Amino acid sequence: MSDDSASPPAPTPTGPAVIQSYLRTLDSSPGVYRMLDAQARVLYVGKARNLRARVSNYARPTGHSPRIARMIRDTASMMFLTTRTETEALLLEQNLIKQLKPKYNVLLRDDKSFPNILVTKDHAFPQIKKHRGAKKEKGAYFGPFASAGAVNRTLNQLQKAFLLRNCTDATFETRSRPCLLYQIKRCSGPCVGHISEADYAASVRDAERFLSGRSTRIQEELAAQMTEASEAMEFERAAALRDRIRALTTVQGVQGINPRGVAEADVIALHMEGGQACVQVFFIRANQNWGNRDFYPRVGPDVSPAEAMEAFLGQFYDNKEPPRQIILSDGIENADLMTEALSGKAGRKVEILVPQRGEKSELVAGALRNARESLARRMAESATQAKLLKGLAEAFGLEAPPQRIEVYDNSHIQGAHAVGAMIVAGPEGFAKNSYRKFNIRGDELIPGDDFGMMKEVLHRRFSRLVKEDPDREKGQWPDLLLIDGGAGQVSAVAEIMRAHGVHDIPMVGVAKGIDRDAGKEEFHRPGQRPFALRHNDPVLYFIQRLRDEAHRFAIGTHRAKRTKAVGATPLDEVAGVGASRKRALLAHFGSAKAVSRADLADLKAVEGISAALAQKIYDHFHDRG
């Protein structure tokens, strides 16, 4: 009797023998290699001066750290890209690590852009403002600053000191009388002619000199002017100058350390403990400290400081311009290679230093102290967070503490400008990079239909998850859903989940109690009776924080949408009418309604509006063509 039952497929071979098989086709070229597991997931990305030599090291069965040994054991295939130089390989390696986020690489998880201060150059009365992103706008950029808060504090004092405007060009053109900032002496009122173009330009030059590090001379000049005004008994002018000097002194006081011998540098210090790492970056520009930021790259217990620091540098400067000096707490293995790569990126010489004495060494010591203290705080917070997640699992009957909690909320005013919001939390607290907003699009929804809005948000969220990560391998699937609402909301969400074939993700509705007081929340689960937690239970406070964060994010998103809608005009719908032409039309006619009623000849008379565009605008408002 024959056995017709199919035998199970043979397991995919992995380990040193698989790696060994690639040596026959490799040469000694520089390049980048990828190690993949049996499911073709990238485990590791590395660079090599000599690909064959590097891969042959992995083919050895012994002599590896525990992390590398595990990686070799899981490797089922490899991919290779050759490059002309090792420097190219270094740049490509860091780019691929950021894209693919391999399991065994050191990974920089928080890589946002940093804000700058921009002094515009396309207007007779330049604007000073915060800028983030690509430097496409014409003007002088000063930065980077470590955070938006650091920029805002500096801008606040610069407005007091130099009285430069921060309003948009459109607002500037339409002012007929000075705004509140002029009244409280934060602006010189150029919009209504309270300062000449020449005097305003002098203030702009002073602000740029201050931001370039030439602050002492400015303060000396202001002090001389104050004395002169006082002697001439112009006491109001003397008081204004005194306030400007005080504002500049405040900026310098907030900055703290202002090194004399370091004009432009990033000071980078690394502290590692218990398999975790913290990197502190201090931004020194124009001999001024423009703030610091901490990062927590993913490292393993057997990663060396040199490896962690090198990986951090490569990924950190992948999308940022490096300064002239990079001052490190720990040396890296390929310092010459990294110097060459960063110099090529900047188009000028970049110096990497590991100082042993002097002012630079003191800067590193300060950054290192901050890194050590930040990591200690984070580890303490992680321990507390782990305890709260465990308590949450016990309260809701979960199999294990959740690693990814998604919290949903809606915001609208009588159905208008409706948005849905999703925030994410886990073992490391709020994961703000994973927050998502949803513009409610359902035309058939009744205004204010919270159930319908929530169903649309969850439908869009899980449609995308099922499509993009059906095997749940990318860490984007939640372990717990928290919904702002009671039994009705939970029922609506459960219906959506069933429609997508998702039956194993717990969901809980968080509803205010009878008196709608915080502390009397009721929790609703599908098919179960609602329940409450003890009034002073730490888990209850934790859930309240999660709900409040979702509410804050939803409200902020709603306000932004509403503000954008308020600033919108019918001109936004006309192809070819950008911001500058829109300003010209509004300045000429006074309102969008007047533009819509204008005849063709009047439209052609507006500066910057061609005959063809005037015809297009006219046709748009008169239903022609």
Helix intervals (H) in 12-141: 16-21, 51-59, 66-74, 86-100
Compute the mean pLDDT over every residue in the chain, rounded to the nearest whole number: 85
pLDDT in tens, 255-298: 445 677 888 999 999 999 988 999 999 999 888 888 889 999 99
Alpha-carbon distances, residue 297 vs 108, 271, 276, 429, 526 (angstroms): 4, 11, 8, 15, 39
Q: What is the pLDDT of residues 25-66, one digit of tens each?
A: 999 999 999 999 998 999 999 999 999 999 999 999 888 988
In this structure, what DSSP letter does residue 427 have?
A: T
- CA–CA separation, 277 vs 285, rounded Å? 26
Contact 277, 271 (CB under 8 A): yes
User: What is the rounded distance in angstroms from the CA atom of residue 255 to the CA atom of residue 275?
Assistant: 32
Structure tokens that stand for 109 in this block: 């998880």
Domain 16-100 CATH assignment equals 3.40.1440.10: yes
How many CA atoms does the CB half-sphere of 268 hold within 13 Å? Answer: 29
> Fold for domain 264-376?
Nucleotidyltransferase; domain 5 (3.30.420)
Residues of the chain above pLDDT 70, percent: 89
Q: What is the mean pLDDT of residues 422-430?
A: 91
pLDDT computed for residue 625 by the predictor: 41
**Rounded mean pLDDT, 231-256:** 68
Q: Give the CA angle between residues 100, 434, 447 to the nearest 5°.
A: 140
- Choose among 338, 302, 347: nearest CA to 66: 302
The two tokens of residue 456 are 């649309």
Q: Provide mean pLDDT across the span 138-150.
A: 86
Q: How confident is the model at residue 382 (pLDDT cuts 50, 70, 90)?
A: confident
CATH of domain 570-622: 1.10.150.20
- Nearest Cα neighbor of 165 from 142, 138, 188, 197 is 188
In three-state form (DSSP H/G/I as H, E/B as E, the rest C), the secondary structure along 18-52 is: HHHHCHHHCCCCCEEEEEECCCCCEEEEEEECCHH
pLDDT at 211 over 90: no
Check if the beta carbon of residue 199 is closer than 8 Å to that of residue 153.
Answer: no
Quick one: average pLDDT of 168-184? 87
Rounded-to-5 percentages of helix, strand, coil across the chain: 45, 15, 35
Residue 249 CA, chain-centre distance (Å), reads: 30
**Contact yes or no for 283/289 (Cβ under 8 A):** yes
**CATH code of domain 405-565:** 3.30.420.340
pTM of the model: 0.72
Size of the chain in residues: 625
pLDDT range class, residue 562, cuts 50, 70, 90: low
How many other CB atoms are found less than 10 A from the CB of residue 358? Answer: 9
Mean pLDDT of 143-159: 83
**pLDDT at 268 (0 to 100):** 96
User: Quick one: what percent of the chain has pLDDT higher than 90?
Assistant: 37
Listed ranges 68-77, 552-561, 592-601; the one with the highest mean pLDDT: 68-77
Domain ranges of the chain: 16-100, 116-255, 264-376, 405-565, 570-622
Measure CA 216 to chain center: 34
Task: Give the residue-averaged pLDDT of 113-121.
Answer: 89
Within this chain, domains 405-565 and 570-622 share the same CATH topology:
no
